[in-house]
Amino acid sequence: MGMVDITEKAIVRRQAEAVGRIFLSPDTIEKIGTHQIKKGDPLLVAEVSAMNAAKQTYLLIPHCHQIPLDTVKVTFEVSKETIEARCFVRAQARTGVEMEALVGVSIALNTLWDMVKYLEKDEMGQYPETRITDIKVIMKEKGH
């Protein structure tokens, strides 16, 4: 089978945005807001990891094409029990960038979990309330 041949497709502006959320304890959220996380600023580290992941999507998903991205923007919205991550990606390409946006948001959320996991564990070393949910593409556009 192999990769889909996109040679004949026109290069056009393509953009996509994905979103997802992580549920954390209110205590963990408070510690993030007051810069008390041992490993550093989780939002900053998650932003950088998401940008890096989006650019390397083709290495992670075998049928994805290598796409030079024009921009990757990662934002976070913090509430009492969740952090919502958004990853916006744009490129001039022959194929869409929704997988890059999904990988970016997924890695942002996993990075947040990694940064605060020591606070989220219960006495048995488990994560009874911590969870990543609602990862989805909320926008995909193809220009001319």
DSSP string spanning 7-75?
TTSPPEEEEEEEEEEEE--HHHHHHHHTT--TTS-HHHHHHHHHHHHHHTHHHHSTTPPP---SEEEEE
Mean pLDDT over 64-82 rounds to 97
pLDDT over 90 at 126, yes or no: yes
Helix 98-120 vs helix 42-55: crossing angle, to nearest 10: 150
What six digits make up the tokens of 55? 């650019």
Domain spans in the chain, listed from the N-terminal domain onward: 12-142
Give the pLDDT score at 119: 97
The active-site residue, picked from 27, 70, 114, 134, is 114
Give the pLDDT score at 1: 77
Global pTM reads 0.96
Give the pLDDT score at 144: 66
Mean pLDDT of the chain: 96
Mean pLDDT over 24-42 rounds to 97
Q: In which band, very low, low, confident or very high, does the pLDDT at 87 lie, cut at 50, 70 and 90?
A: very high
Mean pLDDT over 118-137 rounds to 97
Give the pLDDT score at 3: 86
Outline where DSSP puts E strands in 94-130. none
The distance in angstroms from the start CA to the end CA of the chain is 29
Q: Is there a contact between 47 and 112 (Cβ–Cβ < 8 Å)?
A: no
Give the pLDDT score at 63: 94
* Domain 12-142 in CATH 3.30.70.640: yes
- Apex 136 CA angle, 133 and 138, nearest 5: 135
Q: Is 114 designated active site? A: yes
